[in-house]
Structures are given as C-alpha cells and as structure tokens.
Structure 1
Amino acid sequence: MSELRIEQRIAERQDALSPQERRAAATLVDHLDDLATYRAAELADLAGVSKATMSRLFRSLGYADFDEVRAHLRALREAGEPRRLDGPPDLGAHAEAEGELVRRALAQPRLDDAVALVADAARVTVLGWRSGYPVALHLRQQLAHARGDVRLAPAPGQVLGEEIADLTAGDVAVVLGFRRRPAGFGALLAAVHDTGATVLLVADRTASMHAHHADLWLECPVETRLAFDSYAGAMSLVGVLADGVLSHLGAPARRRAAAISATYARLGEVE
C-alpha cells in the first residue's frame, strides 16, 4: 500500500469508509494539487467533518498522520510530478507516457461485460462534460455505426433534466467523468442512476467516491508526468468498446455500417 498514490488508496478503501470518511476523502481528492498547503484542521473544516474523522481517514489510508501525507505528496513531486514543465517538450517522454496510459486504460477485467451491456441495451445515451465531452462524442459516433438509437447528451448549451427524463430500465447510460468534472457531478450521476437505466461509468480514479452510483466502472487513467492530463487512454478505451459492440452484434451491425457508408457515398458527404 505504501507505493500507492493517495487517490489510489482512497479508491481501494472506498467501500470500507464511513459516510463521514467518504466526505473527508472527497475533499482530499478535490485538493490534491494544493493539499500540502493546508493543515489537517483546515481540511476537516472544508469537508465539514471533525478533526478526529480526518485523523481516522489518514490512518485508514495507511498514513500515521497528515505530516506523512504531506511527505508522500512531496515525494511524488520529487519523483517527476511538477505542476509545470520547463524547456521544450521531451517527445520521447511524451510518447512513453501516452503509451503507458493506453496500456493501463485497456487493462479492463470487465470490458466484455461493458460491451455486452452497450450492445444489448434498448437505447444508449452517452453523457460527457468538459474533458469528457470529446471522448463521449467520439464514442457516440463509433457506436452509431454498430447499432441504432445512440444519443449524445447533454446537447450544447443544454442541461441534463430534459436529456434523461425518458431514460428507463433496459437503457444504458455511458457517463464520461474525468477529473475537474463539473460541480455536482455526483448528483448528476445519481439522477441518471435513479431513472432505472444501467449506468456505465468511464472515469479516472478521482471519481471513486461516485462509483456507487454506477453499475459498472471502467477506470481510465489520465494523469501523466507531463504538464497536462492525457486522454489517449480514454480514446483508445472507447474505441475498443465500440469495436467490441460491433463484433458482439455481428452481421446486423456490419450491414448497418455498410448502409451508412453507402449513404455517405450517395449524398457525397465524405471524401
């Protein structure tokens, strides 16, 4: 456990935490970038929990106290996690980091389950916000070649209420939720879950506190040693998911893809 990052420790211990400890853990994750600038009492106030609860959480995560948490974060930065990069980009390091993200993203023990859910659903709604939106757009575009009734939500400039009003049992909602999600993401995910639709969450580890609202969670890392998060792994994962749906559905999906290509040609829509 000592080698794990703090958000990984939280993810592994999530089910064993009390509601108050989960609230404290969510505050830690929300303030990872500047956690070392706080005192333990200030973090407890931010989370709305007691100092004793925050101390219990630290011990549950394998730290003796908050000083050890700070030391752990300093060690991570010293090992290559600066907030900014100086000098020109190291293209070799960039390629290595992207490749590692893709390998980790595709190491999904329940990918076959996710494929079956999406393939067999009465209707699929793909939801994404902020950095998750282009990934959602890509997934919807690919799924639409394999099966019918695939929607993207929310529509630009719209909110969620009208998008999920007709979700029901038999539907699948694929929710893309990477870190720096919009405020209230947990409530949005809970509202989708409450419709009765099956929820497939595709997210990085920082979404662990929301995972209990999902029926299936595909964990997809985005953090690298580089200046910005990378979505190479996320794009690869949703591509493999769509490939799996096409294969799962077999001949009908292949006929649909061929018909779409024929329509492109008839309308002159693509080169």
Structure 2
Amino acid sequence: MRTPQVAMTPHIGQRISAQYGDLSAQEQRVAAFILDHFDDLAVYSAADLARLTGVSKSTVSRLFKRLGFESFQAVKRHARQLRSQGMPLVTDPEAVGANGERFKRHLEREQENLRRALASIEPQTFEAIVQGLDSARRVVLVGFRNGYPLAVHCRQQLIQARDDVSLAPQPNQSLAEDLVGLGEGDLVVLFGFRRRPRLFDALVDELVSMPCRLLLIADATAAGYAERVDWWLECPIDGVSAFDSYASAMSLISLLANGLLHQRLARGRARINAVSELYQGLDELAP
C-alpha cells in the first residue's frame, strides 16, 4: 500500500506565469518584482510591495486575489509552506545574523538537529541495524537528489569495513538492474529526504515486497513510511535560513560506519590494511 501523496497546488510563481498576460500593467510590475524576489517574499508587507513597485496597496491586494489568495497573510503562509516542503526560501532576512552571530546561530541549529537525531534512536534499534549491516549478504545504498551524495559517502565508509556494498542508481542509469534479485540476507539503505522524486512511493512498495530488509534514513516528512520499513532513522535537516543542512545525516553515517567496524573489528581491520596496501600498490593517494 502506497503512502498517499500530498496534492501539490501551484506555487505563486507558477500562478503568475499562467496569468501574466492577463494582468494590468501595474499588476505585472508587482508580479515581476515578486518573481525577482521570490526567495524572500515572506519578509515583505503589502505596503512594502506597493512602495517598492510604485503602485497602490489596492493594486497589490487585487493581484493577490487574482492569484487565488485571500490576503497577503495567506501569501506569507504559502511561502512558509513552500519552505517546509523543502523549497529554499528566505523567510527571515535576519535569521543568519551578522559577523560572529551567524556562526553562533548555525552552531546552535546544527547541535539541536544532531541532538534530536540521536535522541530519537533506541539503543537496541541501533544495535540491530549494525548487526544487519554486518550480517547482510550484500548492502545496497539508494539515494536521490540530496540523498545521493549521502548514499555515496555512506558506501565509501561501509566498504572500508566489509565487501559487497553497492550504490544505486548509478549515474544516468535505471534502478531495476541493481535491485532485481534482492533476497533474504540482503539489506537496502534508502535515503529519502524531502522533495523526493515521484518514483519514491513505488520504490518503497517494491522493496517492502521483497525478502530483503530495508533501512530508511530521512527527515520527518517520511514518517508515513516508518511502519512499513524494518528500521527508520530520522535526521532533522532544518537550517537557519533557506537551505537545509545534512550535518546530522552525515554524523549518523559516521556513527553507523564506526558501529559496523567495531562489530567486525578483526575482519574490518584486515580489510582496511588490505585496502591501504592496494592504495600503495596502485600509487592512488598523494602523501
């Protein structure tokens, strides 16, 4: 059974594009300003828009109603909703602060994300995941969009301690070839952060129907999948401003990789030594 998709209503930029030719010259002036300042729309007032575009407040109000918004407050709620869905919008121009204040706020947010991520993990669940990474016949890492570099990094860490760790999909390739034949004893680690591709639901459907085990690493927007997978690890990714931060996910990958290495310490050390010797033999790394 698929997790229902949330219906996506057209965002304000799409609404403007669809109606631009039917707007008055003054409305077009406001609309153009909105498109040029889309990322910080939420910080303006209706009076600001009127003043900056040289039109009346009634023109601004009329435009928003033509675009399907009851008021400018509805527009600001719309902008905040877009940000919660992952669109990189600046909703507070003072959020990052200035000089040393920006570093302080960034550090506090990163610490809070990491604290929440680790607090949500039951120790027995973590141990079961590490055991699964150790005993799996093969481990397949799957990631899309911002989850792809996380999957790449996770593979690079895990493969230091064990073999048969693969990445899917390969660049410009489809998934089916990498997933067909997954069976009992295999483990898939799926990264599913917000703004997931449309095929994500179908992918989860297919994976849960297979005899392999499934670990989902994602933010809170993937909570609807939690009961369907074997394990779910939540990583908060909220940043202090427009862009998400994946520091908690990267830290979790480090925790999992270290857990795996200590689970199979003798074999892991032997593999690390063998890899290091091959580095030298191939002269791959600079001193």
State TM-score, norm by structure 1: 0.70
Gaps of 5+ in 2: 13-72
* Counterpart position of 1:66: none
**Other-structure match for 1:137:** 152
1:105: how far off?
A: 2.0
Q: Does residue 151 of structure 1 match 2:163? A: no
Q: How does 1:79-118 map to 2 (within 5 A)?
A: 83-84=89-90, 85-86=92-93, 90-107=102-119, 108-109=121-122, 110-118=125-133
Match of 2:6 in 1: 27
Which amino acid in the other structure matches residue 6 of structure 2?
T
Instruction: Please give the secondary structure, in 1, of the residue aligned with 2:105.
Output: helix
SS for the counterpart of 1:227 is coil
1:213-260 CA deviation, whole Å, 9 max, x = no partner? 311111111123321111000000011001100000120111101111
Correspondence for 2:219: 204
Q: What residue number does 1:170 align with?
A: 185
- Kindly provide the CA deviation profile for residues 78-137 of structure 1, in whole angstroms up to 9, marking residues without a partner as x: xxx894042676222112111221222223112222111111111100110101001100
Q: Deviations over 1:65-84 (max 9, x none)?
A: xxxxx99x96xx6xxx8940
Q: Distance in 2 between matches of 1:219 and 1:83?
A: 23
2:257 maps to 1:228: no
Q: RMSD of the alignment, in Å? A: 2.9
Contact 1:140–1:152 at 8 Å: present in 2 too? yes
Cα distance in 2 between the residues matched to 1:245 and 1:114: 9
Structure 1 residue aligned with 2:260: 245
Q: Which amino acid aligns with 1:144?
A: I
Identify if the C-alpha distance between structure 1 residues 213 and 162 changes in structure 2 by more than 3 Å, giving closer, same or farther. Answer: farther
Report the Cα offset of residue 141 of structure 1.
0.2
Q: Distance in 1 between matches of 2:140 and 2:208?
A: 12
Instruction: Note the C-alpha offset of 1:151.
Output: 0.4
1:191-215 deviation per Cα after TM superposition (whole angstroms, max 9, x unaligned):
1222211001111111122233311
Cα separation, 1, equivalents of 2:185 and 2:279: 31
Alignment coverage as a number of residue pairs: 210
In 2: Cα distance, 1:186 partner to 1:27 partner? 12
Distance 2:151 2:127 in 1: 19
2:197 maps to which residue?
182
Residues in 1 aligned to 2:233 and 2:114: alpha-carbon distance in whole angstroms: 13
Q: Return the alpha-carbon distance in structure 2 between the equivalents of residues 116 and 226 of structure 1.
A: 37
- The alignment's TM-score, normalised by the length of structure 2, stands at 0.66
CA distance in 1 between counterparts of 2:238 and 2:269 reads 36
In the alignment, which residue of structure 2 is the partner of 1:7?
none
Q: Which residue of 2 aligns with 1:52?
A: none
Identity over aligned pairs, percent: 42
